[in-house]
Amino acid sequence: MTLRPFRALLSLMSLYFHLRAVPPSALRNSANWLQRLFEDDWDTVRRRIDRHREEMLDHHYADHDVLYAGTPPHRTKDSPQSHVILGGRPVPHQDPEEPPFLLLTAAQTARVAVYLISADIETLWHRARDELLPRYGGPDMEQETHALFTSTHRDLTAFYTNTAEYGDAVVKRLLR
């Protein structure tokens, strides 16, 4: 399954991107189980999988993917950079109209954490700024836009680092 149709869907909808850490022993390769994982409230998830860590990205998550993975023809294919936001093995949703869940193994999560810790946000920003700035009000809004991406980078680095320290996997889901 390619992410091309999935990316087209992203550009048409205003969704939130939800990432949850899951111990590998609790992870199920079932769309029903994954759906329940994201329907349950914070306390229920904590009781079911013995701990809880999550990150939510607003409708700009696809722009953060541009920051890390780039855009064609320079997009990285299967690397830690490409797994930060939209990467992972797709598990089809039981509703064919819904985007798939995305799963990162514990090993992939650890590689993403190492990448984020070592990534220079200034270099990433300068490589992606010309593409991103027009979407956020242009050069007059560069300081605010740069701050948004820097803050999200910090949050994602903390999420993936903590998740990797526990040896957990990551499940991702688009939510309306």
Domain borders along the chain are: 4-175
Q: How far apart are CA 24 and CA 18, in angstroms?
A: 18
Which CATH code fits 4-175? 3.40.1760.10
Per-residue pLDDT at 2: 43
- The DSSP line for 90-125 is EE--SSTTSPPEEEE-HHHHHHHHHHHHH--HHHHH
What are the pLDDT tens digits along the chain (176 aa)?
444 444 444 444 457 888 999 999 888 888 888 988 887 666 666 665 555 577 888 888 889 999 998 866 555 666 888 899 989 999 999 988 888 999 999 999 999 999 999 999 999 999 999 999 999 999 999 999 999 999 999 999 999 999 999 999 999 998 76
**What is the distance, to the nearest Å, from the Cα of residue 23 to the centroid of all Cα atoms in its chain?**
17
- The Cα–Cα gap between 16 and 62 comes to 10
Give the pTM.
Answer: 0.84
pLDDT for 11 equals 46
Return the percent helix, strand and coil in the chain, to nearest 5.
55, 15, 30
pLDDT at 10: 44
